[in-house]
Amino acid sequence: MYRRIADLLKNASPGDAAEIRGWVRTRRDSKGGFSFVEVNDGSCFASLQAVVPADVPGYEQSIKDVTTGSSVAISGKLVDSPGKGQRLELQADALRLLGTADADAYPLQKKRHSFEFLREIAHLRTRTNTFGAVFRVRNRVSYAIHEFFQQRGFLYVHSPIITTSDCEGAGAMFRVTASRESRDESREQDSPSMTSLNLLPSTLDPAEFFGRPAYLTVSGQLEGEIFACSLGPCYTFGPTFRAENSNTTRHLAEFWMIEPEMPFFELIDNMALAEEFIRHLCRTVLEDCQEDLAFFADRIDKEAITTLRMIAENDFLRVTYTEAVEVLTQSGMTFDYQVEWGRDLQSEHERYLTEQHFQRPVILYDYPRTIKPFYMRVNDDGKTVRAMDVLVPRVGEIIGGSQREERLDVLESRMREQDLDPAHYWWYCELRKYGTVPHSGFGLGLERLMLLITGMQNIRDVIPFPRTPKSAEF
RNA sequence: UCCCCGAUAGCUCAAUCGGUAGAGCGGCGGACUGUUAAUCCGUAGGUUGUAGGUUCGAGCCCUACUCGGGGAGCCA
């Protein structure tokens, strides 16, 4: 009976018959008349060693082609392993070679490869220890995200991927158009500039598929607010796009974001949820991904497990922007960028706070209104808004959120303050016009969370097929 | 987009002052072995990222471009 290796290692006993199917990691021949074939099927970190005697059906005609990367089905009986390195092994009674992998040409060798090289063979890198572990953890984290919100009665909202609104001006957007062939060629025209977003219905353009310029979403927040202000606490979890020409280890053109939005939540509740959320995810991974985590701690980042425990076990600090500025100016540190109230904090400042000064996750809140978007609620002091950023060691900003401005007059004046026309956001404003309520939300970048959890250095290595400037091969 | 660094065998890298290309790993052949990053012996493998320039001669110096890496900005 075909069973996956994770199942066998967890549930099977010596004496059980089983067939395994997977990809060969290594083969070692013994002159004793048998071969060791190490098979990995991706179900768990561990491979299973099959001992294949030379007189077994299939051995003679195919053993030479059982090379690293080839695919096999091996059936036999599980036995206690006399060798070191594994508890159980499969004593084979039949070997089937499913697909060969020319050893001379197969790019993955039984040696360490650089992540840069593996990125060039993204169709094969999932067969390595590192990427197997990364994507099993990513899967568990994704599931835990749904668990966390579903257990709390949050509604999962599928916010649109194609949008005609420019939320918060969160950065350059990708244009969405019908392909040239399917467009009415009589209406060729230049692309509208970025400033002509959010055209009113009266300016419908028949040459545009949607009647107006359309883009890939940069955030599901505005749509999330609609659902929060009707169906209650909700969250989105889907792909998000930024056309920024960012070339860093922390940015992608396509990434996955989780954006919860809660009615009747003030900033303090928002911060509490964000903290509970992150810590829940860390605890889940510590509990359920021990084998993969052990690998990260061994080969990727010595502190991988320590970091997760530190986050799971310690309260996040809450520090106002103003207090943070004081800490930084009194730190005696020399920064490349000067710290001054009213200016945004730079990466170096955030990292100093979370890595050196506080040495744990920190939630900064109450930022100057001038450096934050229009939808954040203005505090009574008139100078700050109810924004929060969650900063964690090594990664920096992992969550950005706020209490939303629920007062229509204040919202509209904030829009004008930032040269936005309230008419373009008419439906967003109507949420305040009809039955407005205090509400809050935040955004978490899944890949940044993955960096934190795995200890991986480059965000391109924690998403299956990274999209970055000049790169979208797979 | 800006700053810095890099591109040489399948992979990771070396090559002195500008003087005719090397190693380890991997592959292949063999030896040995309840092996497991196996070990030992042998062997093949190169338009030095692309285009131009300087020079008697360029992997090495110069220019441009392409791609990759690190940092910054933008942000999640």
Cα separation, A76 vs A92, in Å, equals 4
Q: What is the CA A111 to C1' B39 distance in angstroms?
A: 17
pLDDT beyond 90 at A403: yes
Q: Using the CA of A254, which nucleotide's C1' is the nearest one? A: B76
Q: Which nucleotide is nearest to A457 (CA to C1')?
A: B70
Most confident of A103-117, A178-192, A285-299: A285-299
pLDDT at A186: 42
d(CA A255, CA A460): 10
Q: Which nucleotide is nearest to A463 (CA to C1')?
A: B76
> Is residue A417's pLDDT more than 50?
yes
Percent helix, percent strand, percent coil in chain A, to nearest 5: 35, 25, 40
- The separation, in Å, between residue A250 CA and nucleotide B47 C1' comes to 38
pLDDT in tens, A230-268: 999 999 999 999 999 999 999 999 999 999 999 999 999
| Phi, psi dihedral angles at A198 (to 5 degrees) | 55, 45
**Which residue, counting CA atoms, is nearest to the C1' of nucleotide B31?**
A31
pLDDT the model gives residue A199? 43
pLDDT of residue A187: 45
Burial of A239 (0-12, 13-18, 19+ CB in 10 A): middle
What's the CA–C1' distance between A38 and B36, in Å? 8
User: Residue ranges per domain, chain A?
Assistant: 5-99, 130-161+217-461
Query: Residue A312 pLDDT > 70, yes or no?
Result: yes
0.90 cut: is pTM over it?
Answer: yes
In this structure, whether the domain defined by A5-99 belongs to CATH 2.40.50.140 is answered with yes
Residue A156: beta bridge partners? A235
Q: Is the pLDDT score of A198 beyond 60?
A: no
Q: How far is the CA of A102 from the C1' of B35 (A)?
A: 23
Amino acid present at A464: P
Chain segment A325-366, per-residue pLDDT in tens? 999 999 888 888 999 999 999 999 999 999 999 999 999 999
Can you give the distance from the CA of residue A225 to the C1' of nucleotide B16 in angstroms?
68
Query: Which nucleotide is closest, CA of A337 to its C1'?
Result: B72
Q: What's the pLDDT score for residue A346?
A: 93
Other beta carbons within 10 angstroms of residue A118's beta carbon come to 19
Q: Which nucleotides of B are covered by protein (CB under 7 A)?
A: 1-2, 10-13, 25-28, 32-38, 66-76
Under the banding of pLDDT at 50, 70 and 90, the label for residue A82 is confident
Residue A49 C-beta-side C-alpha neighbours within 13 Å: 18
On the question of a common fold for A5-99 and A130-161+217-461, the answer reads no
Tell me the HSE value of A216 on the side-chain side, using a 13 A CA sphere.
16
Using the structure, give the distance in angstroms from the CA atom of A470 to the C1' atom of B52, rounded to a whole number.
25
Percentage of chain A lying above the pLDDT 90 cut? 79
Q: How far is the CA of A458 from the C1' of B40 (A)?
A: 40
pLDDT band at A183 (very low <50, low <70, confident <90, very high): low
**Which nt has its C1' nearest the CA of A91?**
B34
A459, A462, A465, A467: CA torsion to nearest 10? -20
Residue A341's beta-bridge partner residues? none
Q: What is the pLDDT of residue A182?
A: 59
Nearest to A420 by CA among A192, A243, A168, A162: A168
**DSSP SS3 for A151:** helix
| CA distances (Å), origin A458, targets A103, A121, A471 | 29, 16, 15
The nucleotide whose C1' lies nearest the CA of A444 is: B76
Q: Considering only CA atoms, which residue is closest to the C1' of nucleotide B44?
A: A104
Residue A202's pLDDT is: 52
Asked if the A130-161+217-461 domain carries CATH number 3.40.50.1000, the reply is no
* Distant-in-sequence contacts of A302-306, Cβ < 8 A, 24+ apart: A303/A455, A304/A453, A304/A454, A304/A455
**Averaged pLDDT, A149-153:** 98
Is this complex scored with an ipTM above 0.90?
Answer: yes
| Closest C1' nucleotide to A401's CA | B76
**What is the per-residue burial (b if ≥16 Cβ within 10 Å, else e) of A447-466?**
bbbbbbbbbbeebbbbbeeb
Distance from C-alpha of A398 to C-alpha of A449, rounded to nearest angstrom: 7
Q: What is the distance in angstroms measured between the alpha-carbon CA of A404 and the sugar C1' of B2?
A: 35
Please name the residues in contact with A286: beta carbons below 8 A apart, sequence gap of 6 or more: A293, A305, A308, A309, A312
- State chain A's mean pLDDT as an integer: 91
